[in-house]
Amino acid sequence: MKLAPAINVVSLLTLSALILGCGATPSAPPPSTPQNDSLLVAAGFKTVVASTEKQLQVLPTLPAGQVTVVTQTGKNYFVYPDLAKNRIYVGTEKQYQAYMTLRAQNNLPTADPQKSYFHQDAAMRKADTRDLSVPWDVFPDFSGLGW
């Protein structure tokens, strides 16, 4: 019969852990860093400054610290936001591959394919929703950046 107090203690500890775990704020994505910015530029990404009110509204909707694939005028572009400087870096598949090569050469972490595979479905649904809600026509046609 002395089992009941032990179960209560375990239950209380479990509940406390759950409350503390749920109350913790999630870590923010990494901000744009000078090293990342220089790698993007070295890889051939072009800089597009958000200058209109609509562009400034769209910019924070991009996931900070990561490259996002965006389709504009039927072509895929790779976009990396720099929220602090109100600009985006835009590249094609060629520039993106060069960027990934530079990251590897500088011993920077790359995405874990296994991890991204497990999160792919949810991420794709979220990206579809975001892509439908983000009006990419507020930025100039990326194809005019010189590719």
pLDDT tens-digit readout, 39-93 = 999 999 999 999 999 999 989 998 888 888 888 888 889 999 999 999 999 999 9
Provide the residue range defining the domain that includes 106.
Answer: 34-142
Please, where are the H alpha helices in the chain? 3-23, 34-42, 53-58, 93-105, 113-133
Token pair 């602090």 in the structure block, residue: 84
The chain-wide mean pLDDT, for the chain, equals 73
Within a domain: 51: yes
Residue bearing the bigger pLDDT, 119 or 13 = 119
Within a domain: 27: no
| Burial annotation 87-126 (CB, 10 A radius, 16+ → b, else e) | bbbbbbeebbebbbebbeeeeeeeeeeeeeeeeeeeeeee
Within a domain: 111: yes
What pTM does this model have? Answer: 0.59
Within a domain: 43: yes
Indicate the number of domains in the chain.
1
Within a domain: 102: yes
Within a domain: 10: no
Within a domain: 107: yes
